[in-house]
Amino acid sequence: MVIVAKLSLQAQTVRKLNMTLIKSISGIRGTLENIPGESLSDYDVKQFTLAYSQEVISKERKSLVVVGRDAIKSGKKISELVMNTLINEGFDVLDVGLVTTPTLGISVKHNRAAGGIMISASHNDEKWNALKLLNNHGEFLTPDKVNSVIKEKERFPKQNSLGRIIKYNNALNDHIELIISQGFFNFKLLKKKKLSIAVDGINSVGGIAIPEFLRKIGVENIKEINCKPNGEFAHNPEPLPENITEICDVIKKGQYDLGLVVDPDADRLCLVDENGEPFGEEYTLIAAADFIMKKYKNPVSCSNLSSSLGLKVLTERYSGKYFSSPVGEINVVEKMKSVNAIIGGEGNGGVIYPKTHYGRDSLVGVAMILSLIIESDKTLSEIKKSLPDFHITKSKMTFNKGMEKIINYCKNEYNDREINLSDGIRIDFNNSWVHIRKSNTEPVLRIISEANSKSNSVELSKKIISKLRLL
């Protein structure tokens, strides 16, 4: 009996270590053990929905809230919990069902709602889910609004009159029509080009949205890979080169002009060129910017501190100005608004184009990339060669001694270098940089390095990680 007790206690300890609840500007994200306060439990879903309804959307003179989800299997149950909590608070809920995160953001604006909740853990695996909280503009909540939601206090229902759930099946079409209305496409050239495109939708909502968008703009030859929205992720959901080998192999064996890969909620877009080689998620934004900047005099752009210098160099080619922000979509958005940027985003494949909405949008990215291909009459690999040449390395590690220890060490070790402390610590060297910060979405440190060659970037990353492990 004693041995059993010890094993049971050990098992409980291991389980507890694996449980996570992260509250940040990226939303309320957690594992699914249903342990209140330590995971994204039913109790926590209700509590944070109540907090959001009472602290944010109740301040609006509107009673409608938009709720959507990606295809992850836990999403339906969590969506029902969220919607029932909202209607019991007296709000009407517009249930848009399976949608991308940008589709939900656009739906908030289109339907003049008080806000929106997207149920998606983005690139995290099936053990996770999250509540992404949006304001009445369809944008992520600002840090002050997030802080009001995550206050450590129990929330109680206000017991208002009962709201209602309204099914709405046209959100994706609204999204597509908005993008088409921007006038990106020369439809005559697009039809003449007869593009063949492979799509990996990771068996989530991108498997619905991307092919439908392509069909709407006249692309006929579409190879759908993992496009059934059943939530059974066919590979690691983060669209990094090592995780997208299936679509690369398909393109190598077939006659395709490019491949499109998204994460589970389809706000990130990664590309594969006509040779079956990953384009690099950093270059989605850079290529999109190359398309749009041609149309502006002295363009202004913005990305976060962990994104490639390529956007800065490209912007300066067009006699424009580049600005950076801390990591996090809302941080980029706030900086874009303050400097009147025409395009921005993050180096994870996130493209933000304010004329559609202030949010990362894979469909906008697809529209710009396809337009660049048909207008330049170049292949994706040829386009890549014309863009600034940088190589980025993305690593992560556990570190339990706190960021303060890292910052103090780096300030002493690299006191002759340019240091930025607005988000963790970023150190700039000659033709290279490294950024060390706590993740907003996982219980890890992220170490991002970039240099003018792959070997230099990898070496810089390894050097920093080895030093951190000695602290």
Radius of gyration of the chain (CA): 22
CATH of the domain at 118: 3.40.120.10
Asked if residue 4 is part of any domain, the answer here is no
- Number of domains composing the chain: 3
| Confidence tier at 18 by pLDDT (50, 70, 90) | low
222 and 211 in contact (C-beta within 8 Å)?
yes
- Domain boundary pick from 386, 418, 435: 386
Average of per-residue pLDDT values in the chain:
93
**273-294 pLDDT, tens per residue?**
999 999 999 999 999 999 999 9
Q: Tell me whether residue 205 is in a domain.
A: yes
Instruction: Tell me if 264 is assigned to some domain.
Output: yes
The answer on 224 and 371 residing in a single domain is yes
244 and 146 belong to one structural domain: no
pLDDT digit string, tens, across residues 87-113: 999 999 999 999 999 999 999 999 999
Claim to verify: residue 329 and residue 282 sit in the same structural domain? yes
CB 366 within 8 A of CB 193: no
Whole-model pTM: value is: 0.92
Q: Give the pLDDT confidence score for residue 104 in this predicted structure.
A: 98
pLDDT of residue 407 exceeding 60: yes
Tell me which residue of 24, 42, 22, 23 sits closest to 33, measured CA to CA. 42
pLDDT reported for residue 61: 85
pLDDT of residue 11: 35
User: Does 198 lie in the same domain as 78?
Assistant: no
Does residue 372 sit within a domain? yes
Edge-to-edge strands, sheet with 196-200: 221-225, 196-200, 258-262, 269-272
**CATH for 441:** 3.30.310.50
Same domain, 152 and 253: no
Q: Give the percent of the chain with pLDDT over 90.
A: 89
For the residues 128-147, what does the mean pLDDT come to?
A: 96
Torsions phi, psi of 197, nearest 5? Answer: -130, 130
- Whether 144 and 193 map to the same domain: the answer is no
**207 assigned to some structural domain:** yes
Q: What does the pLDDT look like over 342-375, one tens digit per residue?
A: 999 999 999 999 999 999 999 999 999 999 999 9
215 and 160 belong to one structural domain: no
Together in a domain, 200 and 301: yes
Tell whether 13 is covered by a domain: no
Q: Is residue 24 located within the same domain as residue 132?
A: yes
E strand spans, 297-386: 300-304, 321-325, 343-346, 350-352
Residue 343's nearest CA partner among 386, 312, 373, 371 is: 312
Q: How confident is the model at residue 13 (pLDDT cuts 50, 70, 90)?
A: very low
Question: What confidence score (pLDDT) does residue 12 get?
Answer: 38
Residues 37 and 160 in one domain: yes
- 246 strand-pairing partners: none
Average pLDDT of span 385-397: 94
What single letter denotes the amino acid at residue 7? L
Measure the CA–CA gap between 460 and 193, rounded to whole angstroms. Answer: 42
In a domain, 12, yes or no: no
In one letter, which amino acid is 269? L
How many Å apart are CA 100 and CA 378, to the nearest integer?
A: 29
Give the per-residue pLDDT at 137. Answer: 97
Confidence at residue 15, expressed as pLDDT on a 0 to 100 scale:
41
Render pLDDT for 415-455 as a digit per residue (tens, 0 to 9): 999 999 999 999 999 889 999 999 888 889 999 999 999 99
Which of the 8 DSSP states describes residue 140?
B
- pLDDT computed for residue 9 by the predictor: 33
Checking if the pLDDT of 459 tops 60, the result is yes
Percent share of the chain, pLDDT over 70: 96
**2 within a domain of the structure (yes/no):** no
Domain edge (last residue) among 329, 361, 386: 386
d(CA 287, CA 308): 12
Same-domain pairing of 104 and 247: no
- Tell me how far CA of residue 115 lies from CA of 49, 66, 223, in angstroms: 12, 6, 36
Is residue 89 within 8 Å of residue 101, measured between CB atoms?
A: no
Q: Are residues 59 and 124 in the same domain?
A: yes
Residue-number span of the structural domain to which 214 is assigned: 176-386
For 135-191, list the strands marked E by DSSP: 165-167
Q: Among residues 114, 149, 169, which one ends one of the domains?
A: 169
